[in-house]
Amino acid sequence: MANEEDDPVIQEIDVYLAKSLAEKLYLFQYPVRPASMTYDDIPHLSAKIKPKQQKVELEMAIDTLNPNYCRSKGEQIALNVDGACADETSTYSSKLMDKQTFCSSQTTSNTARYAAALYRQGELHLTPLHGILQLRPSFSYLDKADAKHREREAANEGDSSQDEAEEDVKQITVRFSRPESEQARQRRVQSYEFLQKKHAEEPWVHLHYYGVRDSRSEHERQYLLCQGSSGVENTELVKSPSEYLMMLMPPSPEEEKDKPVAPSNVLSMAQLRTLPLADQIKVLMKNVKVMPFANLMSLLGPSVDSVAVLRGIQKVAMLVQGNWVVKSDILYPKDSSSPHSGMPAEVLCRGRDFVMWKFTQSRWVVRKEVAAVTKLCAEDVKDFLEHMAVVRINKGWEFLLPYDLEFIKKHPDVVQRQHMLWSGIQAKLEKVYNLVKETMPKKPDGQSGPAGMLSGEQRVQTAKTKAQQNHAFLERELQRRKEQMRAATVLPSVQIKEEPLSEEEADGEELEAEEEEPMDTSPSSCLSTKLANGLPAGRAVGGDNLNGHPIPGCASSPAARELKAFVEATFQRQFVLTLSELKRLFNLHLAGLPPGHTLFSGISDRMLQDTVLAAGCKQILVPFPPQTAASPDEQKVFALWESGDISDQHRQVLLEIFSKNYRVRRNMIQSRLTQECGEELSKQDVDKVLKDCCVSYGGMWYLKGTVQS
């Protein structure tokens, strides 16, 4: 207290922060000179700067009339640098060292703590410094003198050897540089010579020097004062007491280092709970890789909604044997590569997807078989398997977790959606790896049990029981449909004759229903697509109308309307599609729908084809070669016949060409289009039609989806 009384506050000064020159203000530190002499008194001949490097060079005149100046030494330096003959390129045109160059260097890279202060009328104005540069004398003229000396010595040696005999011819070895690898290029870029070369390539920007008493300097000096008197620019100086104390006494680096730091790949549960739910699921699955849904819920906590978790887990993981396995693209991002073989992420993801798909077929996988199909090195395949399986001696790799039957029974809609996704992945793998087409194992009630758990007799008994149940159900459904149609379709002016099915026809329809493999296992929606007015689907005239009126149980159902909207939207984007590609797009569409959507009620292949034809499309009977490798679904080609634009006629002519030819040359297509349309089509019109419907391969044009590479 006594010290405070002895040192009272005698004046308070307002501090202002000026920002007009905050990004342009530099502090130049010159070499020490006598106090009576300032650098502003010395004429500045030139100034230049390299902005990126913050490098400055100044040329200042030397007072050659000063009694302390040694004239003979100045003449000797000029002679050594420029030689006896002076020209425009001479450093010292007066044949006397009459100027000196100063070159800058940075004193510190962090200038945030420094500012230039100007005190005026009881106010202190601070401007942050952008850089602090120390100017030191540059002795580059000595390098020029050495170069001149070497040139003179070389010239003298050349004169003395003119009288000597011509030198013998020497053998020259020519070497060609090898292609530079990526690692060698990175080392070269980081080398000192390369950085010096890059610095030298930056052009100099010439500046104009204005002295202290110049009017321009006076004008610029006004920017060191805070321009706004209302204090708008000074908001950064308004701090709370705790913030101000932290600025005065920041924590020392030693205290920061003393704090325990967890590894970068370790995240505590407390830190995990602070993340959004989607990120929590992603972090857990990325670290655990395989997890049952019950374990995931226990880690996330009891307050988390299971529906939200189900929605989030499907974005980062795939269902394998009732358990969730993290997706391949989560473990192998786009720009990553294998640490063992250097394979890109795309190839690794495809190989790991193959391993995951194999585990959807069986509990066991053999590593050699995976390596033979994927063509990946043994270390990469071993990494895939260690993520989701455990090795058993003399047996192979067994899936890590037991089959989660409880999840399968509790969430059939999720199981069905995952089944659709695996069907799309399977089709892609078959095409990439040229696999023999295998069928995903069909399990009643959406995978009601693990593969390989039933004996042969149990399977036969289960199939018989299921067939009997389906038969009784189909009979009841048929009667109900007949009664509904009889009540709904009979109009006052229209008399419809009801023709019951004969016993042979009914048996035939039931057999057809069993042989046709639907895209879903629900029988009710399949029945609605096969019966219209009591007739078999094959004999019904049109799938969406009956005597000009819609069928209540078929076209007007929500599933039929949704399916028709999907088909119309798909063919508006892609004019030509094979049945195989359409099914793949439909599976992807299903995978993006919420659980319980009406399209999950069951859509058969027949219903999908009938909807395509009812949407204004036509089937193009492309004459495939006899030895084609295309599947039956790939040989069924559908095309939108009329889309409402001006190119409909051109596309129809093109489709008629491909109904008689499997592949066609462009000149034939162009001549046929000209002949049918009656006018010469421009190249742009022909290109548009070909782009809509065809692909080019080996100089020939094919309908989309029909080319066999």
Q: 3-state DSSP helix/strand/coil percent for the chain, to nearest 5?
A: 45, 15, 40
H or E stretch including 284?
helix 277-288
CB atoms within 10 A of CB 509: 20
In 511-559 the beta strands, taken as DSSP E runs, fall at 531-532, 535-536
User: For residues 522 and 513, is the Cβ–Cβ distance under 8 A?
Assistant: no
What is the structure's pLDDT at 533? 35
Task: State residue 492's pLDDT score.
Answer: 41
Q: CB under 8 Å to 125, separation ≥6 — which residues?
A: 15, 16, 17, 18, 117, 118, 119, 224, 225, 226
Residue 342 burial (CB < 10 Å; 0-12/13-18/19+)? Answer: exposed
CA angle 357, 358, 360 (to 5 degrees): 65
**pLDDT (0 to 100) of residue 540:** 35
Tens digit of each residue's pLDDT (9 = 90 or more) over 412-421: 999 999 999 9
Q: How far is Cα of residue 514 from the mean position of the Cα atoms in its chain?
A: 45
The reported pLDDT for the residue numbered 650 is: 86
Total number of residues shown for the chain? 709
Give me the pLDDT at residue 601, please: 72
Predicted confidence at residue 448, as pLDDT, reads 40
pLDDT at site 709: 57
Residues whose CB is less than 8 angstroms from the CB of residue 542 and which lie 6 or more positions away in sequence, other chains included = 614
Residues of the chain with confidence (pLDDT) below 70:
1-5, 33-45, 86-88, 158-170, 177, 228-238, 251-267, 436-464, 468-470, 482-556, 709
Number of C-beta neighbours around residue 572 at 10 A: 12
Query: Tokens for 430?
Result: 């078959």
Q: Tell me, what's the pLDDT at 254? A: 57
Integer-rounded Cα Rg, in Å, for the chain is: 42
Report the C-alpha gap between 400 and 415 in whole angstroms: 19
pLDDT in tens, 514-564: 344 444 433 333 333 333 333 333 333 333 333 333 333 355 678 888 888
Instruction: Supply angle C-alpha 163, 169, 174, rounded to 5.
Output: 135
CB atoms within 10 A of CB 219: 10
Residue type, position 635, single letter: Q
Write down the residue that tokens 């008689």 correspond to: 660
Task: Report the SS3 class of residue 614.
Answer: helix
Place of tokens 């209540």: 552
446 touches 415 (CB < 8 A): yes
Unique residue bearing structure tokens 């003979």: 72
Q: What is this structure's pTM?
A: 0.34
